[in-house]
Each structure stands twice: as C-alpha cells, then as structure tokens.
Structure 1
Amino acid sequence: MSAVTFIPNPTEPRDLPGRVCLTMPAEIDFCNAAELLPLIMTAARDHGDRLELLVLDLSCTSFMDSQGVRLINDIRHRLRPEARVRLVARPDGVTSSVLELTGLRRDVPVYDNLAEAMAS
C-alpha cells in the first residue's frame, strides 16, 4: 500500500512566506500519483495568490515511474503562471535518473538539497 501523506522533516525549513515545501512519499507510481495531485494542489491553493514557489522534496523518494513525471507536469500546468516549481532529488538516486531520462530536468530545476531549492 502506498502512502500519500507528506512527511515533515523538522530539521529543514518548510513553509516560508510565499513558499511551500512538500516531502513526497517513498514511491510515486500508478498506485498513488492520482491521489497525490489533489493533495498537492490543495496545499498550493491554501496559499492563494501569495504562492511564489512550490518545492517538491523527492530526496526520500526511492522509486518513481512515468506517473511521477506526469504528476509533476500536471502540477506545473495547474499552478498560477507566477508560481514556480522546484524539485529536490538525490543526485545518485533513481528519481534523479528518471528526471534526467524523461527530460523533465530541463523544464523544472532540480536541487541537491532543500535549502538551495527554498532559496531559489
């Protein structure tokens, strides 16, 4: 069973004015991607017109298939045009490889750590 809750990491900055960070689950695939979209969009809409940056922290995500890529693209297209999306992924992880192979990395900046992504 896939978890669709966001796991907070109390040692990292999470929400700053106009910026939201969501830690994604360990796996993103056909089992949970459709459930994640409304959760992420609700978190983004909770900030209304103030949302400038949405960071999706994939550093704990050990598996992601094409549905994860589709999820990120859907999020990008549903946010207000002024809101930016940034990703955090381990450089040596599967998620980073998927982002590279699919070309999504060209469209969405990927950072090695959360602090850099939140400061972007």
Structure 2
Amino acid sequence: MAFLPNPTQPRGLPGRVRLPMPAEIDFCNAAELLPRLLSEVRAHGDRLEVLVLDLTATSFMDSQGVRLINDIRHRLRPGARVRLVARPEGVTSRVLELTGLRRDVPVYDDLAEAMAA
C-alpha cells in the first residue's frame, strides 16, 4: 500500500487541510485509508473548514475510492466541506464524472484554487 504523507497546510489559509492521496485507491487499500484519513481529520478538530483530498498523483481509482470519498465527507463535522483536486485528463477525474460524485463534491484541477475555495 502506498504511504499517505502527512497533510500540509499552506500559510494564510487556516482551517484548510490538504491530504495527498496514494497512486492507487481500490479494494486493496481503501479500507485501510479510511481510518488514517479520519485520524488526520480528527487531529484538526473544530478548526477544519475545508478538507482538500489531493488526487493529482492518483492514477487509478475504482468504486472503492468513490466510496472512500463519500465516507470521509459524511463523517466531517457539520459545516466542514470536502474539495477534490484531480488531473482533468486522468482516470480519476473520469471516475468522478461517471459515478456522479463530481456533482456532489467540487473537483478542481488546480490545488491553489481548491485550497482557496
């Protein structure tokens, strides 16, 4: 399973957290990623306003990745929002479109835009 690095928080954007996602998200690692991601979310407590899941390095994602994103967004505290960053030409972006998740969660192709949203 790919290592999920610690989140980074750009200066001047309190309440916003970026979590880089692994190269592949599928049935092999999605179940293990959920508690790790939730742990990072809990570490920010009530200060978390926007969680940016950075999928730019993710080259493969199946329905388990979509489920993971949904699970994360439904477990955030009220008022906190999820944003996604994905390469527009990538498989991940296509999966988000085909599953309809793109209608429910904003997807950006630029990290700075997602962090500022």
Bucket of the pairwise TM-score, normalised by the shorter protein: over 0.9
Runs of at least 5 residues in structure 2 that lack an aligned partner in the other structure: none
Letter in 2 for 1:5: L
Q: Which residue of 1 aligns with 2:115?
A: 118
TM-score between the two structures when normalised by the length of structure 2: 0.93
Residue 54 of structure 1: which of 46, 51, 55 is its match? 51
Candidates 98, 102, 107, aligned match of 1:105:
102
TM-score (norm 1): 0.91
> Percent same amino acid among aligned pairs?
79
- Trace 1:84-99 onto structure 2 (pairs within 5 A): 84-99=81-96
**Is 1:69 aligned to 2:55, yes or no?**
no
Runs of 4+ in 1 over 6 A off after TM superposition: none
Q: SS at 2:28's partner residue?
A: coil
Q: Does 1:17 find its partner at 2:14?
A: yes
Query: Are 1:6 and 2:10 an aligned pair?
Result: no
Q: Which amino acid aligns with 1:90?
A: R
Secondary structure of the equivalent of 1:80? coil
CA distance in 1, matches of 2:107, 2:18: 14
Distance 2:100 2:94 in 1: 10
Partner of residue 39 from structure 2, selected from 39, 42, 53: 42
CA–CA distance in structure 2, aligned partners of residues 77 and 17 of structure 1: 22
Contact 1:87 1:109 (8 Å CA) reproduced? yes
Amino acid at match of 1:104: L
Q: How far apart, in 1, do the equivalents of 2:40 and 2:111 lie?
A: 18
Q: How many residues align?
A: 114
Give ranges in structure 1 of 5+ residues lacking alignment: 9-13
CA distances 1:20-50 after superposition (whole Å, capped 9, x unpaired) = 1011000000011011111111111111111
- The change in CA–CA distance for 1:7 and 1:98 in structure 2 (over 3 A counts) is farther
- Secondary structure, counterpart of 1:3 in structure 2: coil
Q: Report the CA distance shift for 1:93/1:7 in structure 2 as closer, same or farther (over 3 A).
A: farther
